[in-house]
Amino acid sequence: MPHTSSLPQEARGAQHEEREPQEARSATPLLHLPTSTSGPSATPKAEVSSMRRLKGLKCRVCSETYELCPKHVCEFCFGPLEVDYDYDVIASVISREKIQRGPNSIWRYQDLLPVEGTPRVNLEAGFTPLVRADRLAKRLGIKELYIKNDTANPTWSFKDRVVSVALSRAVEFGFDTAACASTGNLANSVAAHAAHAGLKCFVFIPADLEVGKVMNSLIYAPHVVAVRGNYDEVNRLCSEIADRTKWAFVNVNVRPYYSEGSKTLAYEVAEQLGWRAPDHVVVPIASGSLLTKVHKGFGELKKLKLIEDTHVRISGAQAEGCSPVVQAYDQGLDFVTPVKPSTIAKSLAIGNPADGPFVLDIIRETKGAAALVTDDEIVEGMKLLAETEGIFTETAGGVTIGVLKKLAEAGKIKPDETTVAYITGIGLKTQEALAGRVGEPYQIDPNLNSFESALKDVLAAAS
Ligand SMILES: Cc1ncc(COP(=O)(O)O)c(C=O)c1O
Ligand SMILES: [Zn+2]
């Protein structure tokens, strides 16, 4: 049985002490998890004074402030915490030119990310292609459409952005064990980044995930824990484990740092459009973190005058079998009622989305829209993107393209709006969804006659 590890001294508030040797504190079996000491007394005070750009953490509901530490819930109102920046300090150091001189990865935007020194957990995520999608645009009646192709990340999903930020920060806090509750892609990314950085690793997933997602975690040799339950149950379990261990759960105790990584999906799009924001973006929703941070990212660029003060409409996409945010939007509610997910878009199968109310606010405030698609429409969306643009996305991307199509057909995306669809994960991980839906290879013998007779059949069938 693997052993638990401890949060080192600096994250417990005692600075500059020698870390205990690993052997001396690693004899605790998993079932006797040590109690966490996180909380205000665990605040790493020395970090704060050295980071003027980073003011601390702030409650998104009641605005209570905290020093930077591995903490994600407000003690006063239980609201979520987020990183609070000093934008005057950032404005004095950031410029388009400085960004353009930076690395071809998310780290070119480090002035806007909550990592202090050289990123210590780095597989060079980000800087993925923004593909002009004229053939798809024509099919949908849109003039200027782009696909942000985030399948091109190290573990083939946008999760590499959030994980490299979360784990770089976690290492700065002194953690030596990475963990997460995942619908699949996050587990792949945490496992890969932990391997690269030499961190111990536990990933928790629902037991019924696609083979491709499970394999893509196992290959990096983390501890993969398959929970007989859905994601919301996995997440609840992980919150309990996070309270009792000293592990960096990227989307639990270090969630404020993790979620900031998604802002780079706004920064890159604006930079790739020639320092211009699009008019409309379509974003898939699971917990809703990605959508809220894309919004925050464009807002920051405007605040810092790196782009003009244009208005970005933000639309959200969900699968019919897990659409709590879209249902709340359609009913005019400002809260989300949890659902029990049942959809082929397993990576979006979060029935109780943590950021649901914030997503509703953003969609309404930006005059975007929210829509859902059926499982059949998800597969059609995957095929449409592949056939028109040569990009093979997973079921979550099928949701995005299906919703893009619906919104264009309904006139909710205007033909003259510069539109970006965020394609956040690769199709090779969700091949089950395509079984029997993409035709079959022609079987021939290894000779010319056999090929020519097959070709005749093909041409006859096509005419
Ligand atoms: C491929 C893909 N796209 C989008 C999302 C949605 O992310 P969020 O939970 O930030 O809404 C996920 C979440 O796991 C995902 O795996
Ligand atoms: Zn609060």
Predicted confidence (pLDDT) per residue in 75-107, tens digit? 999 999 999 999 999 999 999 999 999 999 999
Alpha-carbon distance values, 7 to 121, 172, 259, 340 (Å): 17, 11, 21, 35
195 near 222, Cβ under 8 Å? yes
Residue 114 binned pLDDT confidence (cut-offs 50, 70, 90)? very high
Question: Given a cut of 70, is residue 39 above it in pLDDT?
Answer: no
Largest distance between two CA atoms of the chain: 79
Between residues 297 and 17, which one has the greater pLDDT?
297
Nearest ligand atom owner, CA of 65: 2
Considering only 47-61, 88-102, 331-345, 371-385, which range has the smallest mean pLDDT? 47-61
Nearest ligand atom owner, CA of 348: 1
Pocket test of ligand 1: the residue of 163, 185, 258 to mutate, having most ligand atoms within 8 Å of its CB, is: 185
Q: What integer pLDDT is reported at residue 463 of this predicted model?
A: 85
What's the mean pLDDT in 251-278? Answer: 98
Q: What integer pLDDT is reported at residue 309 of this predicted model?
A: 84
pTM: predicted TM-score of the whole model, two decimal places = 0.90
Give the position, in ligand 1's atom list, of the atom nearest the Cα of 425: 1
- The CA 352 to ligand 1 mean position distance, Å, reads 13
Residue 191's nearest CA partner among 36, 318, 346, 200 is 200
Question: Which residues are paired to 319 by β-bridges?
Answer: 322, 373
Indicate the helix (H) or strand (E) that contains 224. strand 223-227
Q: What integer pLDDT is reported at residue 403 of this predicted model?
A: 99
Protein residue whose Cα sits closest to atom 16 of ligand 1: 347
- Rounded Cα distance between 426 and 158, Å, is 10
- Report percent pLDDT > 70 for the chain: 89
Give the position, in ligand 1's atom list, of the atom nearest the Cα of 286: 11
The count of C-alpha atoms lying within 13 angstroms of the C-alpha of 109, restricted to the half-sphere facing its C-beta, is 30
Q: What integer pLDDT is reported at residue 7 of this predicted model?
A: 39
Between residues 20 and 130, which one has the greater pLDDT?
130
Pocket test of ligand 1: the residue of 147, 235, 290 to mutate, having most ligand atoms within 8 Å of its CB, is: 290
Considering only 25-29, 107-111, 174-178, which range has the smallest mean pLDDT? 25-29
Give the position, in ligand 1's atom list, of the atom nearest the Cα of 291: 11
Pocket test of ligand 1: the residue of 265, 287, 322, 428 to mutate, having most ligand atoms within 8 Å of its CB, is: 287
Backbone dihedral angles phi then psi of residue 97, each to the nearest 5 degrees: -65, -40
- The CA 430 to ligand 2 mean position distance, Å, reads 39
Nearest ligand atom owner, CA of 318: 1
- The CA 360 to ligand 2 mean position distance, Å, reads 19
Condensed to tens digits (0 to 9), the pLDDT of residues 266-325 reads: 999 999 999 999 999 999 999 999 999 999 999 999 999 999 988 999 999 999 999 999
Residue 45 binned pLDDT confidence (cut-offs 50, 70, 90)? very low
- The CA 293 to ligand 1 mean position distance, Å, reads 12
- Rounded Cα distance between 351 and 360, Å, is 15
Q: What integer pLDDT is reported at residue 339 of this predicted model?
A: 98
Give me the sign of the Cα torsion angle 359, 400, 107, 198. Answer: positive
Protein residue whose Cα sits closest to atom 2 of ligand 1: 424
Nearest ligand atom owner, CA of 358: 1
Give me the count of residues in the chain: 463
- Rounded Cα distance between 368 and 314, Å, is 5
Give the position, in ligand 1's atom list, of the atom nearest the Cα of 283: 4
What's the mean pLDDT in 330-337? Answer: 98
- Rounded Cα distance between 198 and 122, Å, is 12
Q: What integer pLDDT is reported at residue 110 of this predicted model?
A: 98
- Rounded Cα distance between 437 and 383, Å, is 9
Pocket test of ligand 1: the residue of 424, 426, 428, 429 to mutate, having most ligand atoms within 8 Å of its CB, is: 424
Protein residue whose Cα sits closest to atom 14 of ligand 1: 347
Give the position, in ligand 1's atom list, of the atom nearest the Cα of 183: 14
Give the position, in ligand 1's atom list, of the atom nearest the Cα of 162: 10
Condensed to tens digits (0 to 9), the pLDDT of residues 182-236 reads: 999 999 999 999 999 999 999 999 999 999 999 999 999 999 999 999 999 999 9
User: Ligand 1: residues whose CB is within 6 Å?
Assistant: 157, 183, 185-186, 284-290, 347-348, 394, 396, 424-425
Question: Given a cut of 50, is residue 35 above it in pLDDT?
Answer: no
Nearest ligand atom owner, CA of 71: 2
- The CA 65 to ligand 1 mean position distance, Å, reads 28
Nearest ligand atom owner, CA of 425: 1
Q: Report the interhelical angle of 289-303 vs 356-365 (nearest 10°).
A: 50
**Per-residue tokens: 374:** 């059926």
Question: Given a cut of 70, is residue 8 above it in pLDDT?
Answer: no
Give the position, in ligand 1's atom list, of the atom nearest the Cα of 182: 14
Give the position, in ligand 1's atom list, of the atom nearest the Cα of 186: 14
Q: Where are the alpha helices (DSSP H) in 221-330?
A: 231-244, 255-260, 264-272, 289-303, 324-330
Nearest ligand atom owner, CA of 81: 2
Protein residue whose Cα sits closest to atom 7 of ligand 1: 286
Give the position, in ligand 1's atom list, of the atom nearest the Cα of 259: 10
- The CA 78 to ligand 2 mean position distance, Å, reads 6
- The CA 174 to ligand 1 mean position distance, Å, reads 27
Question: Given a cut of 50, is residue 394 above it in pLDDT?
Answer: yes
> DSSP labels for 348-374?
G--SS-TTHHHHHHHHHHTT--EEEE-
Between residues 92 and 46, which one has the greater pLDDT?
92
Condensed to tens digits (0 to 9), the pLDDT of residues 136-184 reads: 999 999 999 999 999 999 999 999 999 999 999 999 999 999 999 999 9
Name the average pLDDT for the chain: 91
What's the mean pLDDT in 55-63? Answer: 97
Q: What integer pLDDT is reported at residue 31 of this predicted model?
A: 39
